[in-house]
Amino acid sequence: MDDDSMGLNKELDGMTVVSLEQAVAAPYCGLMLADAGARVIKVERPEGDFARGYDAGANGQSAIFAWLNRGKESICLNLKDPEDLAVMHRMLAKADVFVSNLAPGSVARMGLGGAELRRDNPGLITCIISGYGQSGAAAKKKAYDFLIQAESGLCSVTGSAESPARVGLSLTDLSTGLTAFSAILRALIQRGRTGRGIDLEISMFDVLADWMNMPLLAHRYMGGAPARSGLKHSFIAPYGAFECRDGAQVLISVQSNREFAALCRQVLQRPELPEDPRFSENPERYAHRDALDAIVADCFAQFTAAEMVDKLDAAQIANAQLNSVADLSDHPFLRNSVAQIGDCDVSLAALPVTSHAGPGQKVPNLGAQTEALRAEFKA
């Protein structure tokens, strides 16, 4: 069988991406493009992307930077200098895609707007990532991941009943990077039909607002957004975390009457519960959640987490252990990959879509390809 039929393999080979990027959102988009086989040229200030200083866990260099920037080339340019700006223009004249997540208006002020660039390169696709948008009051508001989580209402539906919380990772940045990647792929397909590039504008707020549609629709059409409920569900029971004899917690998710009957019969040893009017249907189970949770908690407390997981698996009840990050690090299902930054190998979770190409595992030192790229794109 042909290797190409076995999976993705450098599907963007031959494409050049110039990415004027920093932090997380645009670099994550660039990582996806590099994994697909594109050549990604990361343009950095002379002092470098500030994400290089996020941590010093990789022998003095940033492990987080390594995760986001493996497989790229790095060129240092001072875009306030006319000669360096000219290098940027020459790279973009031969590029397929231009990505940027600088402050709104920055690329236009440097003469790097899509319409101007396509005079020399009609097929160029530009993708500009912003916090709230490129015009009006939205363009003036500074934005970071946590701030967008708060502004979009995500924090209001995250956390315990007593306190809102942020999601414990850079959800806004990562979802925006994925959205940008998807939009660029669509634009490349369209260019294959039309021969013309287009401008893409993606705001972090728009991305998270779309992901917030479930609570937004509940607010508009179902009597109100769901209340914060920690590890419990806002309208399903039994659903949540229960402590076992060894102190570990196991979560269950019972989605149907059939699953509830199996839970009662095979795990709780209470086959009569589905006939109890309080527990016969999910709305009744939810209305009497405290009483039902007490029954479940009494059962779970008699077994270790491992024993309870075995019982739940045998009954085909969806479950998960409430793991720590340390538990994830040793998880039997975790696939790892390695990125090399400087003289340090960084072990990280592998990308979820398997690619034969994969990003080059080398992380570029600051400006590592500057001289070579200047020579390649000289006047």
Do residues 157 and 251 share a domain?
no
Q: Is residue 218 part of a domain?
A: no
Minimum mean pLDDT among 81-90, 231-240, 347-356: which range? 347-356
Q: 184-236: per-residue pLDDT in tens? A: 999 999 999 999 999 999 999 999 999 999 999 999 998 999 888 899 988 89
Do residues 138 and 269 share a domain?
no
The secondary structure element, H or E, covering residue 17 is: strand 16-20
| Domain harbouring 147, CATH code | 3.40.50.10540
Q: Is residue 231 part of a domain?
A: no
Q: Is residue 327 part of a domain?
A: no
Distance of CA 168 to the CA centre of its chain: 12
Q: How would you write 342-363 as a 3-class SS string?
A: CCEEEEEECCCCCECCCCCCEE
Q: 280-317: per-residue pLDDT in tens? A: 999 999 999 999 999 999 999 999 999 999 999 999 99
Cβ atoms of 242 and 268 within 8 Å: the answer is no
Q: Is residue 250 part of a domain?
A: yes
For the cut 70, the answer to whether the pLDDT of residue 369 exceeds it is yes
Do residues 142 and 277 share a domain?
no
- The pLDDT of residue 283 is 94
- The pLDDT of residue 180 is 98
* Greatest pairwise CA separation for the chain in angstroms: 82
Do residues 7 and 150 share a domain?
yes
Q: Could you say which of 89, 219, 233, 356 is catalytic? A: 233
pLDDT confidence bin for 1, thresholds 50/70/90: very low
Q: Is the bond into 238 cis (omega within 30 degrees of 0)?
A: yes
| Residue 259 identity (one-letter amino acid) | E
Do residues 60 and 134 share a domain?
yes
Q: How many helices (H) and strands (E) are present in the chain, helices listed first?
A: 16, 12
| Domain harbouring 277, CATH code | 3.30.1540.10
The CA distances from residue 316 to 253, 267, 297, 309, in Å, are 11, 10, 19, 10
Q: Is residue 372 part of a domain?
A: yes
CB atoms within 10 A of CB 127: 25
For the cut 60, the answer to whether the pLDDT of residue 357 exceeds it is no
**What is the domain extent for residue 261?**
239-321
Do residues 195 and 247 share a domain?
no
Do residues 117 and 181 share a domain?
yes
Q: Is residue 223 part of a domain?
A: no
- The pLDDT of residue 140 is 83
Structure tokens at 34: 């590099």
Do residues 366 and 279 share a domain?
no
CB atoms within 10 A of CB 362: 16
Q: How far apart are CA 129 and CA 181, in angstroms?
A: 11
Nearest CA-CA partner of 321 in 306, 335, 336, 332: 306
Structure tokens at 171: 């959800």
For the cut 70, the answer to whether the pLDDT of residue 360 exceeds it is no
Q: 15-71: per-residue pLDDT in tens? A: 999 999 999 999 999 999 999 999 999 999 999 999 999 999 999 999 999 999 999
Q: If you average pLDDT over residues 84-94, what whole number do you get?
A: 97
For the cut 90, the answer to whether the pLDDT of residue 361 exceeds it is no
Structure tokens at 285: 């189970």
Q: Give me the percent of the chain exceeding a pLDDT of 70.
A: 97
- The pLDDT of residue 355 is 72
Q: 98-130: per-residue pLDDT in tens? A: 999 998 888 999 999 999 999 999 999 999 999
The total of structural domains in the chain comes to 2
Q: If you average pLDDT over residues 138-147, what whole number do you get?
A: 88
Active site residue 219: no
Cβ atoms of 59 and 90 within 8 Å: the answer is no
Q: What is the mean pLDDT of the chain?
A: 93
Minimum mean pLDDT among 21-25, 175-179, 349-353: which range? 349-353
**pTM, whole model, 2 decimals?**
0.91
Q: How far apart are CA 248 and CA 333, in angstroms?
A: 19
